[in-house]
Structures are given as C-alpha cells and as structure tokens.
Amino acid sequence: MDHHFEHRRAAGKALASALAAYQDQPRLMVLGLPRGGVPIAYEIALALHAPLDVLLVRKLGFPYHPELAMGAIASGGAQVLNHQLLRSSDITPAQIQMVVQRESAELARREKAYRGQAQPLEVADHTVIVVDDGLATGATMAAAVSALHSLHPRRLVVAVPVGSHEAAQRIAAKVDDFVCLITPASFHSVGQWYRQFPQVSDEEVCALLAAFGS
C-alpha cells in the first residue's frame, strides 16, 4: 500500500520531480495519451515549463480481425505498419487504405473535440516526453512510440508512474529515456496503484488543455 498514488495529479507531480533534468530545455514538449495520461502530463508540463498537447493513437486492425493490429496512426500524421505481418496476410493495399481512412477520420474527430482548430505540436527535432497513467501490456504506448519515431523527434522519452515489468522492459528498449516510478513484482492493473482512479472525461481533458493554453 506504500506505493499508491493519491490520484493522477499527485502521480504527475512525482513524475515531474523525476524528470527535473528536462526543465527549461529548448524544443521540449509533453504529450499526454488521452484520457488518463492527460492529468499527469499537465502536471509535468507545468513543472518543466514545456508546452502540453495530446497524442491520440488509433490501432489499425485487420478488416476480418479488428483486434489484430497491422499498425497504428497517431496525432500529427504519424503512421506505422507491421510489414512483416502484412506480408504473411492476404490483405490488399486497397483494404489497408480503407482501414487507414476510417481510423484517420475517427482520429480527426477526437482531435477536433480535444484541440478545436489548434494544430498539433511539431514533433520533428524536439525532445518529446510521452505520458500515460501506467503501463499494463504497454500495447498503446508501443504504438504511440512507433508512430512518433516516424515524425523524427530529436529525443523520445516515455514517463509513467507505474508499469508491469514486462511492459516497462518492452517500452524502455524503444526509447531514448524511460522513467517509471514503480514496477511492482505483482501487477494486476494500473488502477490498483492509485487511491483515486476515476474515469477521465473528455470534458476534463479539454479543460486541462484550455487551462494550460490560457
């Protein structure tokens, strides 16, 4: 019980302390994965004096097996495809394009809901800190990291309060810096490490982004 965070904002403040070396660095940005990562990213961006944005990730599922990911897309036009998996399947380029278009439309809809008319932050040649409220399997963060690499950041950092050993190792191997405050030996869910872990609403995400931008 000693390692519980009171709530996401408290976890964000703890993470910000661990990321203090990045404070006031030029060309630095903080990206929160909606929805749970945004309250944490807010506290980090505030402490490091960096701009805050959301990074939306959409899995690209096979048409006949939507749970099986053939790739992912993310904010800013990032796209990654699992070419090895695609080579062993009978999916056509037209079918891939259809899935990309459908998921791109949903991504755009969500981005408009969160960001309004504002453009996504420019990732290229920046130090990017990507934040979520925890890593269970790490699948969403892995997709986010792969997609961000395609936008050529100068340095890619993943920061989370808590993660399973397996997910932490998997993600740490893909980025320049990985900060995870606790990797408990017994890990069942992200929520068990917070005393308060309510669902984060779209309205809360919008309010945090608006408060940061004001």
Asked if pLDDT for residue 137 goes beyond 90, the answer is no
Helix, strand or coil, per DSSP, at residue 132: coil
Of all residues in the chain, what percent carry a pLDDT higher than 70? Answer: 98
Asked if pLDDT for residue 122 goes beyond 60, the answer is yes
Asked if pLDDT for residue 3 goes beyond 60, the answer is no
**Which residue ranges form the domains of the chain, and what is each CATH number?**
8-56+124-213 (3.40.50.2020), 57-115 (3.30.1310.20)
Asked if pLDDT for residue 15 goes beyond 80, the answer is yes
Position of tokens 């050529």? Answer: 152
Asked if pLDDT for residue 214 goes beyond 70, the answer is no
Is there a contact between 12 and 40 (Cβ–Cβ < 8 Å)? yes
Asked if pLDDT for residue 1 goes beyond 60, the answer is no
* 52-111 pLDDT per residue, tens: 999 999 889 898 888 788 888 888 888 888 888 899 998 999 999 999 999 999 998 888
Helix, strand or coil, per DSSP, at residue 104: helix
pLDDT of residue 169: 96
Q: How does DSSP classify residue 137?
A: S
* 149-186 pLDDT per residue, tens: 989 999 999 999 999 999 999 999 999 999 999 999 88
* 18-42 pLDDT per residue, tens: 999 999 999 999 999 999 999 999 9
pLDDT of residue 84: 86
- H or E element, residue 189: none
pTM of the entire predicted model: 0.89
Asked if pLDDT for residue 136 goes beyond 50, the answer is yes
Is the peptide bond preceding residue 35 cis, with omega within 30 degrees of 0?
yes
Is there a contact between 73 and 147 (Cβ–Cβ < 8 Å)? yes
Asked if pLDDT for residue 50 goes beyond 70, the answer is yes
